[in-house]
Amino acid sequence: MCQVNEDYRDQLELPVPSVSRKCVKCREATAAVIIRAGDAYCKGCFKEYFIHKFRAMLGKNRIIFPAEKVLLAVSGGPSSFSMLRQVQEGLSLNAHKKLRFLPGIVYIDEGGAVGQSLEERKRTVTDLQALFKATGFSFHIVPLEQVLDLPSSIVQTTPSLSEHPASAYKAAVDHLIQNDSGDYLTLQEDENASLPDVQEYHTKLLQQLTGSAKTLTAREDLLNTLRQHLLVHTARTEGYSKLMLGDNCTRLAVKLLSSISLGRGAQLAQDTGFSDSRYGDIILVRPMRDYSAKEIAYYNHMFNVPYVFIPSIDTKTRDKASIQRLTESFVIKLQADFPSTVSTIYRTSEKLQTACKSTSTADHRDRCLLCMCVLDTSVENSSAFKATLISEQLSQTKCSEDTIAQVEPESTAPTGQYCSSREVDCGRAASNGGCCSSVKVSETPSLQSLLCYSCQLTIKDMSSVEHFPEYILLEAQKRQRRTQMKEEISEFLLNDGADGD
């Protein structure tokens, strides 16, 4: 029988790896790195293992076709720069199983949202420019302030212009090998790529938007959404069809648990899978999802992969500052004592599938206005989500009744309508024009019905949605007008199952 005070350390102690341990692959060289308890590799075998895993991930999924333009999203951290090094290795002339796509680099400068000065942002951009120019790839440095000027098409699904059947991959590779001239991977380096001039007014607007989020949890989720919109827009305008992200296994494990806590269980397949086709013409790819943060750190240290430390919005915050930060601290501390924690969470995520309709067939009006995933709010009346909505409606009704009861009857005007901010008749009620406060509310559309459950929680943590970019508010008004029009003519429409005669 197990006892509370019994000590089991003697029975559970694992053998300490020896320094002179041989490599598990070549059996000759001395091990230089121990990834797991039984996996000790020498320097050469570890490099082969690391490179093989990257190319096997791309070859197994067969999403990136030869001569296709792929945009690498580099954030400056170890994982994204390790991904960039793998692409460089795969495009070299002496590479085995050579990569055959056309890469480009994009960096999103979030210094304005974090609160960095213009000098600090320029210093970071200068360091990144030197690293990007050394690759020989074309690169684009985009400030996050440009998200305020995006078109409304970014929150609409754009159909892909080049649909490749699964059987066409091998034929495309064979055709490229036969007609290979050796110079199809030559890229033009963008000499003038630098941080565009950022107006102080736009930076203030961005800070007002992020500052309207009352919690760090909502602020991180909002920044992640805006960053993804800007990445997709950059890929579209520059002619790329794939967007490669540097999310590693440890990051995805943290993201999976935090997404469940934030109510994004229905979107896990898109948020953590290898490919994500929610935007239609731009497919998001995560080739680093099989690497742990430990493996990446070892590889970068042993083979001198540079990276730039860039502070984020949660830098130097305490563990309980946000749900994402708390989940990260929990997973990292648990991984230190139980080395299989991250891999167990990660392997579990591969088996999860959503019950919603396919993201490739869903209309853009059936998608969330922010994250572009299929709406998960159209559920049965007996669901827990409907019960939560009813509770909120009853609470709001109770609050409104209490507020009306506190208003004196003598303050009611003959017209019966007043501005909410002052007890003066605005004159619009007499002409059946409604109060000016109602006109102001109509200018800022309600976003609740257009969002998934998780994004609704983010909106609730914001003091106001008036600071949202214009493309989001315009698309919200457009969808609401379409819904209202459909309700008005609903009795004249034929049902989907109606007979033609």
Per-residue pLDDT, 393: 73
User: According to DSSP H, which parts of 143-281 are helical?
Assistant: 168-178, 200-211, 216-237, 249-261, 268-272
**237 — pLDDT class (breaks 50, 70, 90):** very high
Who has greater pLDDT, 220 or 12? 220
Structure tokens at 128: 């990144």
- Burial-class residue 82 by CB neighbours within 10 Å (0-12, 13-18, 19+): buried
Domains and CATH numbers, the chain: 63-160+184-356 (3.40.50.620)
Q: What is the mean pLDDT of the chain?
A: 81
Secondary structure (3-state) at 150: coil
Structure tokens at 411: 């303050």
Q: Is the pLDDT of residue 357 over 70?
A: no
| Across 4-8, average pLDDT | 54
Question: Rg for the chain (alpha carbons), in Å?
Answer: 27
pLDDT tens-place string over residues 436-490: 444 443 456 778 889 999 999 999 999 988 999 999 999 999 999 988 898 888 8
| Across 24-37, average pLDDT | 87
**500 — pLDDT class (breaks 50, 70, 90):** very low
Per-residue pLDDT, 97: 75
Q: What is the DSSP string of 307-333?
A: ------TTTT--TTSSHHHHHHHHHHH
Per-residue pLDDT, 250: 94
pLDDT tens-place string over residues 45-74: 999 999 999 999 998 888 998 889 999 999
**354 — pLDDT class (breaks 50, 70, 90):** low
**36 — pLDDT class (breaks 50, 70, 90):** confident
| Across 351-362, average pLDDT | 57
Per-residue pLDDT, 92: 84
Per-residue pLDDT, 413: 43
Q: How far is CA 285 from CA 220, 234, 282, in A?
A: 21, 16, 10
Q: Which residues contact 290 (CB under 8 A, 6 or more apart)?
A: 53, 57, 249
Q: How far is CA 396 from CA 311, 400, 458, 469, in A?
A: 40, 6, 19, 28
Beta strands at 33-36 and 39-41: parallel, antiparallel or unpaired: antiparallel
Over pLDDT 70: what percentage of the chain?
A: 73
The pTM for the full model equals 0.82
Per-residue pLDDT, 192: 47
How many angstroms separate the CA atoms of 107 and 4, rounded? 53
pLDDT tens-place string over residues 74-104: 999 999 999 999 999 999 877 777 888 999 9
What are phi and psi for residue 108, nearest 5 degrees? -95, 115
Over pLDDT 90: what percentage of the chain?
A: 49
Structure tokens at 127: 């360091």
